[in-house]
């Protein structure tokens, strides 16, 4: 039997987001630029925050582009871009695997990462983003535990993103490790923020055209007293897919 403690935090919010750039900025971002910016996103799912593609997607949304997939409950699902003519660049029914490795540096600290993702039969996908560092305090969102010994100069590692899922035009099911970012604007979200440490959670999303709903349930941590902390959130939003978003959400953190 699960025993619930007193520590329950509930946060509800109503957000209205209006796209003031829906007409003014369209002439600035021409189609060739959009194609270059999105082709690397088309067949991926979760995008690590450090990647240039992540920042490009946010910039385009802020400039009034891609509002047909814009949402208050996380960044747009990049698989939805396959509805465009870019999907003809590969056979979407085949198994597609893409990988990359690299290094991030910050004030002398080094992070070595690997990123891989696959898509299968257009709707099934998986992704993995592990990294190792020589200074666990230097990188935001990093939650790996440093060790007393080093290997190649690195003393800590973690899996920041990982998961498998299914997505079509109206349904998204995902199970893995990562984070959600709910709310309008950049870096001003309260409970679910893109800069939080990663946690394990499941996700259900439904898209009925102008009406969309989303639900998540995740595990945050276990304390020294064997108390587990969990997070759950649910939201509903209406959008005209051009210039207006209205959303209502509730986030609860509880222990037991």
- E strand or H helix at 34, and its extent? helix 31-39
Q: What's the rounded Cα separation, in Å, for the pair 129 and 168?
A: 23
Residue-by-residue DSSP string for 203-253? EEEEE-SSEEEEEEEEEEEE-TTS-EEEEEEEEEEEE-SSSEEEEEEEEEE
Q: What pLDDT is stored for residue 89 in this prediction?
A: 42
Q: List Cβ<8 Å contacts ≥24 apart for 61-67.
A: 62/21, 62/186, 63/21, 63/25, 63/28, 63/29, 64/19, 64/20, 64/21, 64/22, 64/23, 64/24, 64/25, 64/26, 65/25, 65/26, 65/29, 65/34, 67/19, 67/22, 67/239, 67/241, 67/242, 67/243
Q: What's the rounded Cα separation, in Å, for the pair 182 and 193?
A: 7
Q: What angle do CA 15, 66, 187 make, to 5 degrees?
A: 45
Q: Residue 166, SS3?
A: strand
Q: Locate 97 and state its tokens.
A: 């695997």
Query: pLDDT tens string for the chain (256 positions)?
Result: 444 444 676 666 666 666 665 544 444 444 444 433 333 334 446 888 888 888 888 888 888 887 888 888 886 555 544 444 444 444 567 888 999 999 999 999 999 999 998 999 888 999 999 999 999 999 989 999 999 999 999 999 999 999 999 999 899 999 999 999 898 877 777 778 888 999 999 999 999 999 999 999 999 999 888 899 999 999 999 999 888 999 999 999 999 8
DSSP-derived secondary structure letter, 36 = H
8 A C-beta contact, residue 66 and residue 21:
no
8 A C-beta contact, residue 184 and residue 72:
yes
Q: What's the rounded Cα separation, in Å, for the pair 145 and 142?
A: 9
8 A C-beta contact, residue 40 and residue 89:
no
Q: What pLDDT is stored for residue 49 in this prediction?
A: 85
Give the global pTM. 0.80
Q: Locate 223 and state its tokens.
A: 């304390």
Q: What pLDDT is stored for residue 63 in this prediction?
A: 83
Q: What's the rounded Cα separation, in Å, for the pair 170 and 159?
A: 29
Q: What's the rounded Cα separation, in Å, for the pair 188 and 246?
A: 17
8 A C-beta contact, residue 158 and residue 144:
yes
Q: What pLDDT is stored for residue 22 in this prediction?
A: 53
């Amino acid at each position: 039997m699960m025993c619930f403690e007193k520590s329950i935090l509930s946060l509800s919010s109503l957000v209205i987001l209006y796209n003031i750039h829906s007409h003014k900025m369209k002439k600035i971002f021409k189609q060739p630029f959009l194609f270059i910016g999105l082709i690397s996103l088309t067949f991926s799912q979760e995008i690590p925050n450090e990647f240039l593609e992540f920042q490009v997607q946010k910039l385009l949304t802020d400039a009034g582009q891609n509002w047909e997939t814009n949402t208050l409950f996380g960044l747009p699902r990049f698989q939805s871009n396959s509805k465009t003519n870019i999907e003809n660049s590969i056979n979407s029914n085949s198994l597609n695997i893409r990988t990359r490795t690299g290094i991030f540096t910050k004030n002398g600290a080094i992070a070595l990462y690997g990123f891989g993702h696959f898509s299968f039969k257009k709707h099934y996908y998986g992704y993995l983003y592990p990294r190792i560092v020589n200074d666990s305090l230097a990188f935001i969102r990093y939650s790996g535990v440093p060790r007393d010994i080093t290997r190649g100069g690195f003393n800590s590692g973690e899996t920041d993103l990982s998961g498998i899922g299914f997505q079509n035009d109206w349904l998204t099911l995902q199970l893995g490790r990562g984070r959600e970012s709910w709310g309008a604007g950049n870096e001003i979200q309260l409970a679910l923020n893109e800069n939080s440490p990663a946690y394990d959670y499941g996700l259900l999303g439904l898209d009925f055209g102008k009406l969309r709903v989303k639900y998540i349930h995740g595990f945050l941590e276990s304390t020294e007293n064997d108390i587990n902390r969990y997070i759950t959130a649910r939201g509903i939003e209406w959008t005209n897919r051009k210039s207006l978003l209205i959303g209502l959400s509730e986030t609860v953190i509880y222990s037991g």
